[in-house]
A and B are shown apart, each in its own frame.
Chain A
């Protein structure tokens, strides 16, 4: 009887152990189950998810989502599951402010990624700051958002809850001016902007530097952001004798503007900032856009091994929209929030404290990690310490990197 029991027990144990082992091996391929309990932390996302700029906004949303999923898969913050709550601001400041209020009202939200537009950010900053809710923009480049309206002469931080991973137009505009004047040998520029915070600001920093270098501004114009017919301005550009057009604004207008300028007989490049650095610009501008230029934040993807991993993971995740110009910066923005939450949880014995929002905001100032776009950390104004820029040119129907620079001042 004893021998029989031993055999039966051995068999049962072996079967049990092997069953468990086999089950464990299969479950491991899916990674950790993100919904295994504990605390759920929501990362809000605000971006234009519909309308003309949705190509950029959807890339922001998906990239932040990828960061949350990656953190869950890695069980990066023990006991915490991250989820995304994305809201559509339609690139409108009023919608952005409503979204900010709604995100503040949701107590699970401990950080927000976004927005895309500097003008939208202006309407959201105070709402978040009053609630001590941290905001990390992957795309705002207006210098005043961090350094105050008098940033040229006296930098003053505006909100302790506002951070950004993208560099600013205080660098982007002059970088474009230096490239056009020195490398592309352009001396006469026609400057156009869309009167918005981003576009007018970028055109301003470009113009200042281009003049300092000795270049001539042969004409200036402002367009209505809703307009699509620029034939009158195109004719004016042609008459001005400009050898380049600089446009402060975004691709929905920049594309048709470029096309109509060429159609008017001015075979000169249109140059813009990160707001036109999207494949949609090339589609809208047509075949004559070859030679048009854009500066954009960051180094080219192919020069960053970490970005290659991001591109592969984004593809594997199956998002139907491109990650677009700000994908890497959006992933890093979300990951910065995840790092800050981790710091707060670790410092509080593995649990979120009652005043988690304020603590996460405070922790953000000292966040530092190797992200998709390089080293991610913030200076005393909440600006990214990593300030890289790249000039891209339209070649064979796509954007191709021409030259990169790093601001080290």
Chain B
């Protein structure tokens, strides 16, 4: 099959016009009568506008540019997650203290979040009564700490453990998030101090 020949009424663009100068492109008026150069400029501009419009649409509708609702502020932490309770030392004996009683000093600190209120401190043994000083409720702000002396009074030596390994205090905590009862296991120093106090208070009266 031979090359495609121009048909009637058509003209090959690269065929030189014998009447025109050799370096001048063939002039041909478009159907609307405007010059070819003008028509190309309009086409280019139209293409640019279309691209801009299309691109703009894509840009405006891309997923991550959609307006996002402002993230909800994180709720305050649960109080047990921001409160530390540490045993410090035996408290000096107070004059006029009840018989068979002794004091232990603990430090309650709040590391973050809204203030936490200590509403109650208890211990679990049946033969022992705990009194905290200062008396709850105690409000403690983040970044601060309060010393609390817990006075233990033995009511029945047969119902206290002589040397518990990991005794704990139950502390009721409250903040704007929740109220929780949390056990603080104060470690071997506290266990020894508690055991020493109980031995002094009860002598040989353990079960």
Interface residues of A (CB under 8 A from B): 3-4, 7-8, 10-11, 14-15, 17-19, 21-22, 25-26, 28-29, 171, 174-175, 178, 182-183, 208-209, 212-214, 299, 303-305, 374, 387, 403-409
Q: Which residues in chain B, 165-207, are within 8 Å of chain A measured between CB atoms?
A: 165-168, 178, 180-191, 207
Binds A, one of B27-35, B40-48, B139-147: B40-48
Please state if B44 and A4 are interface contacts (CB–CB under 8 Å).
yes
Please state if A29 and B58 are interface contacts (CB–CB under 8 Å).
no
C-alpha gap A403/B85 in the complex (Å): 17
Please state if A4 and B165 are interface contacts (CB–CB under 8 Å).
no
Known A-B contacts A178-B168, A213-B161; the reply to A25 vs B47 at CB < 8 A is: no
Please state if A11 and B41 are interface contacts (CB–CB under 8 Å).
no
Known A-B contacts A3-B41, A303-B80; the reply to A22 vs B58 at CB < 8 A is: yes
Please state if B184 and A178 are interface contacts (CB–CB under 8 Å).
no
B70 to chain A, nearest CB (A): 18
Please state if A18 and B184 are interface contacts (CB–CB under 8 Å).
no
Please state if A29 and B84 are interface contacts (CB–CB under 8 Å).
no
The total of chain B residues at the interface (CB under 8 A) is 53
Interface residues of B (CB under 8 A from A): 37, 40-41, 44-45, 47-48, 51-52, 54-56, 58-59, 62-65, 74-75, 77-78, 80-81, 84-87, 124-125, 159, 161-168, 178, 180-191, 207
C-alpha gap A408/B125 in the complex (Å): 20
Interface centre among B52, B59, B164 (most CB of A within 10 A): B164
- Beyond the given pairs A15-B48, A15-B51, A174-B185, 5 more chain A to chain B contacts, judged by CB atoms under 8 angstroms and listed by A's residue number, are A17-B55, A18-B54, A208-B165, A214-B161, A409-B186
Please state if A7 and B41 are interface contacts (CB–CB under 8 Å).
yes
C-alpha gap A374/B186 in the complex (Å): 19
A302 to chain B, nearest CB (A): 9
C-alpha gap A15/B62 in the complex (Å): 16
C-alpha gap A405/B187 in the complex (Å): 12
A-B contact count (CB 8 A): 132
Please state if A4 and B162 are interface contacts (CB–CB under 8 Å).
no
Known A-B contacts A26-B62, A406-B183, A409-B190; the reply to A299 vs B80 at CB < 8 A is: yes
Please state if B166 and A175 are interface contacts (CB–CB under 8 Å).
yes
C-alpha gap A29/B66 in the complex (Å): 12
Please state if B207 and A214 are interface contacts (CB–CB under 8 Å).
yes
C-alpha gap A394/B43 in the complex (Å): 76
Please state if A212 and B51 are interface contacts (CB–CB under 8 Å).
no
A303 contacts across to B, CB distance below 8 A: 78, 80-81, 178, 180
B159 to chain A, nearest CB (A): 8
Checking A18, A21, A214, A404 against B183 with a beta-carbon cut-off of 8 angstroms, the contacting residue is A404
Checking B48, B80, B124, B163 against A406 with a beta-carbon cut-off of 8 angstroms, the contacting residue is B80
C-alpha gap A18/B100 in the complex (Å): 83
Known A-B contacts A4-B40, A183-B124, A303-B81; the reply to A14 vs B187 at CB < 8 A is: no
C-alpha gap A318/B197 in the complex (Å): 56
A17 contacts across to B, CB distance below 8 A: 55
A156 to chain B, nearest CB (A): 17
A404 contacts across to B, CB distance below 8 A: 80, 180, 182-183
A29 contacts across to B, CB distance below 8 A: 63-64
B77 to chain A, nearest CB (A): 7
B192 to chain A, nearest CB (A): 11
B84 contacts across to A, CB distance below 8 A: 408
Please state if B164 and A213 are interface contacts (CB–CB under 8 Å).
yes
Please state if B80 and A171 are interface contacts (CB–CB under 8 Å).
no
Checking A11, A208, A214, A408 against B185 with a beta-carbon cut-off of 8 angstroms, the contacting residue is A408
Please state if B64 and A28 are interface contacts (CB–CB under 8 Å).
yes
For B74, the closest partner residue in chain A by CB is: A305
